[in-house]
Amino acid sequence: MTTPDLFDAPPPGPDQARVAELHSLLHHHAHRYYVLDEPEIPDAEYDRLFRELQAIEAAHPELVTPDSPTQRVGGKPLAQFASVRHAVPMLSIRTETDTEASGAEAFDARVRRELDLGETEPAVEYVAELKFDGLAINLRYEQGVLVQAATRGDGEVGEDVTQNIRTIGQIPLRLPEGVPAVLEVRGEVYLRRDDFNALNERQREKGEKTFVNPRNAAAGAVRQLDPAIAAQRPLSFFTYGLGEVTPGAVQVASHFAWLQLLKSWGFPVCDHVVIARGAPDLIAFHRRMGELRDSLPYDIDGVVYKVNRLDLQQQLGFVTREPRWAVAHKYPAQEMLTTVQAIEIQVGRTGKLTPVAKLAPVFVGGVTVTNATLHNEDEARRKDVRIGDTVIVRRAGDVIPEVVAVLPEKRPPGAEMFTMPHTCPVCGSAAVREEGEADYRCTGGLFCSAQRKQAILHFAHRRAVEIEGLGDKLVDQLVDSGVVNTLPDLYRLGLTALASLERMADKSAQNIVEALEKSKQTTLPRFLFGLGIRHVGEATAKALARHFGKLDAIMDASEEQLLQVADVGPVVAQSIRTFFEQPHNREVVEQLRACGVTWEEGEPAPIEVQPLAGKTFVLTGTLPTLSRDQAKDMLEAAGAKVAGSVSKKTDYVVAGAEAGSKLEKAQALGVKVIDEAGLIRLVNPDAA
C-alpha cells in the first residue's frame, strides 16, 4: 500500500473530493497510530487534517457520512486481544488549540451559557489538571479486585490488556474494604522521560529499534502481546476519572472529592490538580503549567479543565462523543514536520565528528529549531536521514532537539544515503573510528582549528576559568585570523589587537581584557577542568584537586597513584597520563602560569575523607533545591556511586517530588529512601 500524499496543497475542486481524500488520509493515519503504534506523522499534523475535515463538514452537513473519521474516535482493536465493551463509553474531549487566554475564556463562557448563568452569578468552580500524553485505560474492580483493564479503542469497544496493566506497580490490584462493588477507574498510562531514555538506551545497546517518543513506547508496551516484555517497560499511571460505579455506593458531590477518595484508595493522582474559579484561574493554571512543562518528569500536551460539581456535569451532558463539561487546552506541539536542508559535520573539542541536520526553521516545543543532532554514524544510518527528507523533529523538556523519524514517502528522488567523511571537514586530517567506538575523531589534534576553537571555548567556559564575553563568534575570529593559536595566546592579547578585530567596539575590547585579567585568579579544579583532558569532567577535576592538592603532583602522578583517587578508573588515569606526557601540553600549562594564571594550592588529602565511599545511590523525582547534576556531583565528591536504576545493591534512593517507579521499586526491595535534606546530612555529616 502506498501512503497518500499529505503535504501538497489540496487540489482545487469540489469539497466532496477533498472530503474523500481526507477520509482516506485520516483512516490511514489512525490505523498507523492506534492499531500499529507506528505513526508516520506528528499529532499536530493529524489534528490539522482532522480539523480541516470537521470544518468542511460543519459548512456542508450533507457531506457527513457515518464512516467519516469524525464520527468515531480511535481505531479497531487488534485481533489478538479480546474485545471489551465499555460499560460506560470512554469519551473523547474537546480540544482548544488556541494557546492564548481565549481558550479558557471560550470554555467558561460556553459553560455559563449552557447553565443559564447570568453575569451577576458567581464564577463556576472547575478542576484544572494536566493532560498527560500517554494512553487512556479503564480499570475495572469488582469487590475491590482488579478484574479487567482495557484500552479505549473506539470509545465503545477496547482491548483487554489486563495482563500488561497488572505489571504496572502503581496500579493497585486490590482495594481497601468498603469500596463500591463495581468501580471503574480511568486514567493515563505513560512513561516518564527518564524511563523512556533508559529504555531507548537499552534498545540501542541491543541494536534494536528505538521508540519515537514516550507515548508510543507506552502504547507499544500496553499493547504488547507478551506480558513479560511489557513488564520490562517501566510504565506509570495517573488517575483522572471514572467509568461505571455502583450507584449510591459513595456520597461524592464533586470531581475533586472523587480524586481525593481515589487517592486514599491507593490510586496515583497527580499533584498538579487545582480547584479553579472562573476563567482567570484557568488561564493562570495554563500559564503556570506551561512554564513548568519542560521540567516535569513526563510529557504533557496541554491542560484539562473540568466542571467540578457532578450535578452540573450531569446537567451539561454531552454533544456527540464529547462532554460539555470538560475541555483540553493544548500547548504548542513537541513534534513537528520539517525538511532537512543539509547535513553538516561539527568537530568537537576532542575531535569528535558529529553529524548535524540543518533544518528548515520550525517552531516546536516552544522554540524555533534549525539544528538537530544525528549523534553519530550508527544513529544517522539507523534513522537514514538524507538531505531533502521530510522529518519529524521533537523537542521535549530541556533536551536538545532530535530527528525522531523520516517520512520515506516524502523523500525526493535521488536523495543519497548519508556517509560519514573519512577526513576532517575542517583541517583535512584523517578521521578515524576506533574499534568499539561510536564516533569518528579527527586525528589533527590542536593542528585542527575546530579543535583549537573548542579547546579555547572550553577553557573560557563559566565552569572552567570563566572568561566572560569570549563566545564562539569571537573565538572564530581570533583563531581564523591567526591571532590566537594556543590558550596562552589569549593572555597575550592586547587592547590594540582586540580592538582592531572587525566589528569590535573599543568598549567590548576593554571588557574582554578585563575578563581575561579576572580569569587569571582561578581555582585548581577549574583550571584542570578547563584544560579539557578527555574524561576529566568537573567532578573528576575536583576529586583530583582534593586528592593531590597541587597541580605538579597531578602532572607527575603515575597511573597507579591516579587510580587511588575515588572515581578515577583505568581509562581516566590513562587519559590523564597521556595528556601530561605530551610536551606541548606541559608547555601550555607552564606558559599559562607564566602569563599569571594562578590558584591557591592545597595540601594533599591525608586520607580520603569520603563519607559515602562504596555506597550506591539512585536519584528520582525533582528535589526542592538541588538540580540532578548538583546532587550527583555532591554524591560523587563524597565517594558515592550514582546509578540509573534501583536494585538490591542500591544503598539509598533520594526521592523528590513526582518520584515514580524507582521509588516504588525501592520500597518493594526495602531500599532506604531519603529526601534532599537526608542527602545533605549524609554528604556533610559534620555540618548537621
Q: Which secondary-structure segment (H or E) carries 357?
A: strand 353-364
Work out whether 323 is an interface residue with ligand IVH (CB under 6 A).
yes
Work out whether 39 is an interface residue with ligand IVH (CB under 6 A).
no
Measure the CA dihedral 475/478/481/483, to 10°: -150
Residue with smaller CB distance to ligand IVH, 186 or 441: 186
Name which of 441, 447, 445 is nearest 423 in CA terms: 441
Residue with smaller CB distance to ligand IVH, 93 or 106: 93
Residue 182 phi/psi, 5-degree rounding, is -115, 125
Work out whether 129 is an interface residue with ligand IVH (CB under 6 A).
yes
C-alpha cell at 223: 499493547
CA–CA distance, 534 with 540 (Å, rounded to integer): 11
- Which one of the listed residues 131, 352, 453, 641 is annotated catalytic? 131
Work out whether 131 is an interface residue with ligand IVH (CB under 6 A).
yes
Residue 295: DSSP 8-state: G
Residue with smaller CB distance to ligand IVH, 132 or 237: 132
Residue 440 phi/psi, 5-degree rounding, is -85, 145
| β-strands 652-655, 672-674 pairing | parallel
SS3 state at 332: coil
Segment contacting ligand IVH (CB under 6 A): 28-36, 124-132, 608-616, 661-669? Answer: 124-132
Residue with smaller CB distance to ligand IVH, 187 or 355: 187
Considering only residues 21, 37, 188, 567, which one is a binding residue for ligand IVH as defined by CB under 6 A? Answer: 188
Considering only residues 22, 127, 136, 637, which one is a binding residue for ligand IVH as defined by CB under 6 A? Answer: 136
- For the chain, the farthest-separated pair of C-alpha atoms sits apart, in whole angstroms, at 87
Q: Print the binding letters for residues 224-253 with ligand IVH: x by CB under 6 A, - otherwise.
A: ----------------xx------------
Work out whether 93 is an interface residue with ligand IVH (CB under 6 A).
yes
Shortest spacing between CB 350 and ligand IVH, in angstroms: 43
Name which of 368, 362, 370 is nearest 344 in CA terms: 370
Shortest spacing between CB 63 and ligand IVH, in angstroms: 24
Q: Contact 440/426 with Cβ under 8 angstroms?
A: no
Q: Contact 577/561 with Cβ under 8 angstroms?
A: no
Shortest spacing between CB 333 and ligand IVH, in angstroms: 15
Segment contacting ligand IVH (CB under 6 A): 125-133, 477-485, 505-513, 625-633? Answer: 125-133
Shortest spacing between CB 304 and ligand IVH, in angstroms: 4
Residue with smaller CB distance to ligand IVH, 15 or 47: 47
CA–CA distance, 660 with 655 (Å, rounded to integer): 9
CA–CA distance, 35 with 8 (Å, rounded to integer): 26
Residue 607: DSSP 8-state: S
- Name residue 491's amino acid: Y
- Which residues in 290-309 contact ligand IVH (CB under 6 A)? 304
Segment contacting ligand IVH (CB under 6 A): 57-65, 128-136, 507-515, 526-534? Answer: 128-136
Considering only residues 219, 326, 512, 635, which one is a binding residue for ligand IVH as defined by CB under 6 A? Answer: 326
Segment contacting ligand IVH (CB under 6 A): 91-99, 191-199, 221-229, 436-444? Answer: 91-99
Shortest spacing between CB 635 and ligand IVH, in angstroms: 35
Q: Contact 634/658 with Cβ under 8 angstroms?
A: no
Work out whether 21 is an interface residue with ligand IVH (CB under 6 A).
no
Alpha helices, H only, 31-84: 43-59
Residue with smaller CB distance to ligand IVH, 213 or 616: 213
Q: Which secondary-structure segment (H or E) carries 168?
A: none
Shortest spacing between CB 398 and ligand IVH, in angstroms: 22
Shortest spacing between CB 346 and ligand IVH, in angstroms: 38
Residue with smaller CB distance to ligand IVH, 136 or 516: 136
| β-strands 652-655, 616-620 pairing | parallel
Shortest spacing between CB 100 and ligand IVH, in angstroms: 21
Work out whether 92 is an interface residue with ligand IVH (CB under 6 A).
yes
- Name residue 4's amino acid: P
SS3 state at 196: helix
Q: Which secondary-structure segment (H or E) carries 304?
A: strand 300-307
Considering only residues 19, 25, 41, 91, which one is a binding residue for ligand IVH as defined by CB under 6 A? Answer: 91
Cβ-closest position to ligand IVH: 136
| Core vs surface per residue 455-487: b (16+ CB within 10 A) or e | bbbbbbbeebbbbeebeeebbebbbeeebbebb
Does residue 352 have an active-site annotation?
A: no
Q: Which residues are catalytic?
A: 131
Contact positions vs ligand IVH (CB under 6 A): 91-93, 129, 131-132, 136, 188, 240-241, 304, 323, 326
